[in-house]
Amino acid sequence: MTIILAQHDQAPARTKRSDAMNDNVLTVEGLKVGFRTDKGRFSILDGVDFTLRRGRTLCLVGESGCGKSVTALSIMGLLAENAEILGGSARLNQHELIGLDRHALRRLRGDAMAMIFQEPMTSLNPAFTIGNQLIEGIRQHSDLEGAAAREHAIEMLKRVRIPAAEQRMGEYPHQLSGGMRQRVMIAMALANDPGLLIADEPTTALDVTIQAQILQLIRRLQHDSGTAVLMITHDLGVVAEVGDDVAVMYAGRIVERGSVTALFDDPLHPYTIGLLSSIPRLDDTLTRLSTIPGSVPTPAEMPRGCRFSTRCPFADQHCREEVPPLAAVGNDKEHVVACWKAPIEHCEECSESREVMA
Ligand SMILES: Nc1ncnc2c1ncn2[C@@H]1O[C@H](COP(=O)(O)OP(=O)(O)OP(=O)(O)O)[C@@H](O)[C@H]1O
Ligand code: SF4
Ligand SMILES: [Mg+2]
């Protein structure tokens, strides 16, 4: 495999308002979410854990349907009506988000935390100019009014490298290209200097050149401001490009987590190993897994023990019955894995299946 890890910049240049005592911007612990549907109640997230530090980018990766967006929406307080938070916590700068009322969450969104989506049109209003939308977002979350708010809006468009920023203020979203719209979304998201930015597949809809520009832009703005970024992606090329840390999700659980270098150099979970060996090109996505047969179990048929047991070549009865905990298995205590047999290369009974995976 030929993924080259990007050399990341040093610590962020500027101190954030939120970091006085603690570098942990977001702490998610044991987050459990289910949905009520006409077919019954289903567990989707089953104990998601991760921590995101100031100025760092944590990439959340996994196949379609594994719960990446549900995780993001739970943090932002934007889950659908039929969702139920069944347990756990998500703390933003030590303040619990789970259970906050709508009003408090709305105040935090666009201020202390912000989110950008794959398709910017889901957040931009086609009926208003981008200037109006930017100014409104700034006014709602700051003391700036009138000319000062307008000036800040123009400044934000310049920061995201939108040419002729003043002129663009008067344009409507449909007058901009997809890449420019995504830049506007980033400007809106960062206008009030949030401590946390969640980006859910922000470049998937864009062509490869624009993708690279947008990723660089996020990285540069993050370096300037110290914002913590939760980057949701299918794409291991994106992880290599912008990630400091990575959490691999499978069927609503984190199955492996660690620094990008540790995970790429020494993947421990059979699912991660499968993901890494299934990417023929840097820009390919994880929607298909050439080396792992089968597909993610549906919420209605989730296995009792390890959720990967229906596809794992190393699965046995113990795996099918007992949930493996996330734990370190080597010297790197930050590199954790949820697998009874990790590291696989030390598992004697796994040798035959290893040959199948190789
Ligand atoms: N409102 C809902 N009601 C019922 N099930 C839902 C709802 N929203 C999401 N789900 C289910 O939750 C699971 C996780 O969905 P989620 O959107 O988080 O996946 P994802 O990892 O973001 O996938 P993708 O990469 O395709 O965006 C899926 O099985 C999905 O069908
Ligand atoms: S716990 Fe068992 S089934 Fe799950 S990934 Fe590890 S070996 Fe495979
Ligand atoms: Mg999603």
Residue with tokens 């047969």, as numbered in its chain: 293
Domain boundary among 192, 208, 243: 192
Closest residue CA from atom 5 of ligand 2: 339
Distance 118 CA to ligand 3 centre (A): 9
- Written as one string, the DSSP assignment of 240-283 is HHH-SEEEEEETTEEEEEEEHHHHHHS--SHHHHHHHHT-SSTT
Distance 67 CA to ligand 1 centre (A): 6
Distance 73 CA to ligand 1 centre (A): 10
Q: Which pLDDT band holds residue 283 (cuts at 50, 70, 90)?
A: very low
- Residue 235 burial (C-beta neighbours within 10 Å; 0-12, 13-18, 19+): buried
Residue 21 lies in a domain: no
Residue 14 predicted with pLDDT over 50: no
Ligand in closest contact with the CA of 66: 1
What is the C-alpha separation between 16 and 23, in angstroms, rounded? Answer: 10
Provide the number of structural domains found in the chain.
Answer: 2
Residue 174 lies in a domain: yes
The residue type found at 249 is M
How many CB atoms are closer than 10 A to CB 66? 25
Residue 98 lies in a domain: no
Q: Residues with beta carbon < 5 A to ion ligand 3?
A: 69
Residue 35 lies in a domain: no
Mean pLDDT across 131-153 = 94
Residue 99 lies in a domain: no
Domain boundary among 143, 160, 192: 192
Mean pLDDT across 349-356 = 68
**First-last CA distance in the chain:** 13
Domain boundary among 158, 192, 226: 192
Mean pLDDT across 290-310 = 86
DSSP H or E segment with residue 165: helix 165-168
Residue 1 lies in a domain: no
Where in the sequence is the domain holding 325, given as residue range(s)? 268-357
Distance 308 CA to ligand 1 centre (A): 17
Torsion of the alpha carbons at 66, 215, 225 and 153, rounded to the nearest 10: -110
Ligand in closest contact with the CA of 342: 2
Closest residue CA from atom 31 of ligand 1: 65
pLDDT of residue 343: 85
Tokens representing 268? 């421990």
pLDDT digits (tens, 9 = 90+) for 109-125: 988 999 999 887 778 99
* Ligand 2 pocket by Cβ (under 6 Å): 269-270, 306, 308-309, 312, 314-315, 319, 324, 339-341
pLDDT of residue 21: 47
Q: Rounded to the nearest 5°, which phi and psi values hold at 113?
A: -145, 150
> When comparing pLDDT for 207 and 278, which is higher?
207
Share of the chain above pLDDT 70, in %: 88
Of 221, 223, 229, residue with least CA distance to 195: 229
Residue 114 lies in a domain: no
What is the best residue among 291, 309, 329 to mutate for testing ligand 2's pocket, by most ligand atoms within 8 Å of CB?
309
Rama region for 30: left / alpha / beta (φ>0; ψ in -120 to 50; rest): left
pLDDT digits (tens, 9 = 90+) for 166-219: 999 999 999 999 999 999 999 999 999 999 999 999 988 888 888 899 999 999
Share of the chain above pLDDT 90, in %: 67
Residue 283 lies in a domain: yes
Closest residue CA from atom 30 of ligand 1: 65
Peptide bond preceding 313 in cis form (omega within 30 of 0):
no
Contact 97, 27 (CB under 8 A): no
* Ligand 1 pocket by Cβ (under 6 Å): 35, 37, 44, 62, 64-70, 80, 82, 234, 299
Residue 354 predicted with pLDDT over 90: no
